[in-house]
Amino acid sequence: MNRSTQFATLLLALCALPVAAFGQEEEHGHFDIFVGRPESGDKTLIGGAEVPDELNLTTRVFEADLETDAIAGNNFYTTTEPGMFNAGNSLPGLLGASNPTGAVGLVAGEAPSVLNTPVVLAGATSDLFYWDGTGDVAFVDSPANLVITQTGGVAGSDGSFHDHSFLDIDDPVSTALPSGGIYLAPLSLQLEGLAPSETAWVLLVTGEEFEGAVEAAEEYISGQLVPEPSSIALVLLAVAGGAAVLRR
């Protein structure tokens, strides 16, 4: 199946989704990246979208299962998860969901840009990290590349949006399939006229044998994003100490 055929198949699935979801939303929820405009401010908002039950502005770690594919003899991993979602400005919104407080729908006809820029994680700088899933969690700069292909979906007239981009993991120097394991992609979304969002960390898993390691990877990433209680206490002590010096 070439990429053009994949685009057509995905678009047909997305067009059919709202009708199916209204009748089966209790049984077949799915988890996307919420993307929205702020009621005030100049930064693109992201969070989690478990449609239709929960849309929030706090989720930063996502997971997707990779499948193998081949185009023109080149073997690579691919997925269309996680998608991007906004319920829009009407109530009830798209798929019966509603946007979190502080976020509103997109501008009709627009779509967020999916950005993959290098970030620092545990002292390493990369736009794609890799861990083989064995031993302690240890993400390193990946020798493979992440290729993002957006499908061209745009927001509706009510500001609602639902789309899935292709995320491909490809070896830049070989037609062989890249190493199996867990890839970690730092992604951010950007809407027209707004600054890019905070980083969404997407764990891309090549097979069921790594599912056990995914939980450890999620805990590791969450620990990198949220300071430990002891660290918070040290910061508060430092602030208190500084205030005491200023009062002298």
Q: What is the pLDDT of residues 34-65, one digit of tens each?
A: 999 999 999 999 999 999 999 999 999 999 99
Model confidence at 247, in pLDDT bands (50, 70, 90)?
A: very low
pLDDT value, residue 26: 31
pLDDT value, residue 112: 98
% of residues, the chain, pLDDT over 90:
76
What single letter denotes the amino acid at residue 196?
Answer: P
Query: The sheet that has 74-79: what strands, in order across it?
Result: 67-71, 74-79, 166-170, 145-149
Q: Output the six-digit token pair for 2.
A: 């070439």
pTM exceeds 0.85 = no
Number of neighbours of residue 130 by Cβ within 10 angstroms: 21
Residues 84 and 44: their CA atoms lie apart, in Å, by 13
Average pLDDT, the chain: 85
pLDDT value, residue 225: 83
